[in-house]
Amino acid sequence: MYKVLIVDDEMIVRHAVKTLIRWEGSRFLYSGSASSGASALKIAREQRPDIVITDIKMPEMDGIELIKRLMASGFDGEILVLSNFNDFELVREALKCGAHDYMLKLTLKSDNFMQTLDEIAEKLDEKKRQPSVAHTAMQTERTNRLHDLLHALYDSAEEDRLPGLNPEAASQLLPPGHGVSLFVIQVDTVGEKRDETSLKRSLSQLWSDVYPGSSWQCTLAEEERRFLLAAAYPAESQSAEPAEMAGRMASLAAMYYSMNVDIIYGKPAFGPEELIEEMRRCRKARALLFYQEAGSVSLSSDTEAVEHDPAYERMEAEWTEDIRVGRPEFAAEWELRALRIIREGAVRRLLPRVVKRTICEAMWTLSRKLGLEQRREFDPSLWLERITGAASDTELLMIASELSQEVLALAESGIALRANRPEIRKALAYLEEHYAKPVSIRDVASHVNLSETYLCQIFKTETGKSIMTCLNELRMAKAYELLASGQLLVKEAAAEVGISDPFYFNRLFKKHFGIAPKHVKPKESPALKQK
């Protein structure tokens, strides 16, 4: 018989719950009721109930605090929470603290209520069948052996040929009539900081909810926020498909444990060779957890990440060639092409390192084309580190966007890159080459073989600025670099960019950057403040 304690601050609710339980002929014995958490604790110490049915919102001590106090006191029974529709967050907290389940007060019916109590009774029965205290150390030692064995086996699964299992290890992992289920799970705690121990505990509870009655289960920490879940179950209990179980795990993780999970699910393994092969598959497929932008990932271990895709490689080659030959808009469109290449990697299920390599190569090609490797403000090694270290495609998309913005800013706001007419690109290249010398509109017009009037008209249309404005912006950017180097005086920097009048240079510089040239700090990156 299991003793039941009912806790609620409303007498009518306590009475209603009591009447819902079929006491006669059942396995349940009424142990009393309490109107608050404080009085419930006192009764629990005296009566030692097996099941506590408690409300969440109560005066003096609420249900959450009651659960915490019970658990701290060594309570080894089960707790069922009663709640209202708007108590969802409190319910989640109660489940985290150790409650078995919850039921809505307004939907309580005798049949459903008794079914839940029967499930709790079965759980208590299972606890009684667990090894005695005298065998706890042996059980812990066995669990540790299984953990170490699985860890060694999984770590070696990266090799094409995996080691076999000796008979003793095989019998430990796969008792007669049992199969092993494997899941690789990547966890996002939605901004909440949780350590590895906390995550493993939550995943173990989640695992028990989805697959009760396991012969053994292990949660292995693979790397930050990524875990391997493995457990052995009697073959007859493997009723649901792995994809369905992965869906249940994702739903429960979000609902009760404040975790979003991406999952690679394996097929149940019923022999040593099948287990080793399934580990190998899971380890290979886990690379696809990188692709999260399109939503939660839930894939079979049969879904293999690939290294080569002809259509993708053609896209990559076309992109690199467009940058190399400097086709119109090649740099202004760099971000859009990068986003497309990343998303194509997800669609084609490419290994993330292939996509990262493509973005890195495109960055190097672009920086060489624009001469950015010579600029103090551009550090390709820093971008390379960020790209290769991206943990997801969402992060890689963000990095690509930031990189594109920096490149366009360093290339004089991208004016030359967005110009469609070859005459304007030629004119801008002339300004870039001759900015340190006296330059007139006549000089530029002669270079591009157009009349001065027509050149000024189409230049303004293409770039939105006049020729002399662009020349002065170019001179100011170059002057900033020289001053930031700390090697030149203001008048020397002015002369280097083709401005002989230091007073005019000061006025132009301050208008362009918002600060006087003498206030530029050595090695400071230019923060353009157009005014």
Read off the pLDDT of residues 476-505 as tens digits, 9 standing for 90 and up: 888 888 888 888 889 999 999 999 888 889
How confident is the model over 209-226, as a mean pLDDT? 77
Q: Which two tokens stand for residue 184?
A: 């690789």
- Rounded CA separation 164/271 (Å): 12
Which of the four pLDDT bands, split at 50, 70 and 90, describes residue 414?
very low
Helices (H), 48-135: 63-72, 88-97, 110-128
pLDDT > 90: percent of the chain:
21
Beta strands in 147-253 (DSSP E): 178-188, 216-223, 226-234
For the entire predicted model, the pTM comes to 0.56
Selection from 462, 471, 465 nearest residue 497 by Cα: 471
> In this predicted model, what pLDDT tens digit does every residue of 295-330 receive, in sequence order?
888 999 999 899 999 999 999 999 888 887 766 567
How confident is the model over 128-136, as a mean pLDDT? 53
> In this predicted model, what pLDDT tens digit does every residue of 328-376 receive, in sequence order?
567 778 888 899 999 999 999 999 999 999 999 998 888 877 777 666 7
- Kindly tell me the burial class for residue 236, based on how many C-beta atoms sit within 10 Å of its own C-beta (0-12, 13-18, 19 or more): exposed
How confident is the model over 500-528, as a mean pLDDT? 76
How confident is the model over 92-118, as a mean pLDDT? 86
For the chain, give the longest Cα–Cα distance: 107
Which of the four pLDDT bands, split at 50, 70 and 90, describes residue 256?
confident
Phi and psi angles of residue 394, each rounded to the nearest 5 degrees, phi first: -60, -45
Which amino acid would we find at residue 397?
L
pLDDT at site 473: 84
pLDDT at site 412: 56
pLDDT at site 329: 65
Which of the four pLDDT bands, split at 50, 70 and 90, describes residue 522?
confident
Which of the four pLDDT bands, split at 50, 70 and 90, describes residue 277?
confident
> In this predicted model, what pLDDT tens digit does every residue of 437-480 receive, in sequence order?
889 999 999 999 999 998 998 888 877 788 998 888 888 888 88
> In this predicted model, what pLDDT tens digit does every residue of 159-196 receive, in sequence order?
554 456 677 777 777 888 888 889 999 998 877 777 88
Weakest-pLDDT range from 238-247, 277-286, 311-320: 238-247
- Rounded CA separation 50/3 (Å): 5
Which of the four pLDDT bands, split at 50, 70 and 90, describes residue 130?
low
pLDDT > 70: percent of the chain:
88
Q: Domains of the chain (ranges plus CATH)?
A: 2-128 (3.40.50.2300), 136-300 (3.30.70), 310-410 (no CATH), 420-519 (1.10.10.60)
- Rounded CA separation 91/86 (Å): 10
Q: What is the mean pLDDT of the chain?
A: 83
Phi and psi angles of residue 187, each rounded to the nearest 5 degrees, phi first: -110, 135
Position 134 pLDDT exceeds 60: no
CB 422 within 8 A of CB 416: no
How confident is the model over 210-220, as a mean pLDDT? 74
How confident is the model over 405-433, as a mean pLDDT? 72
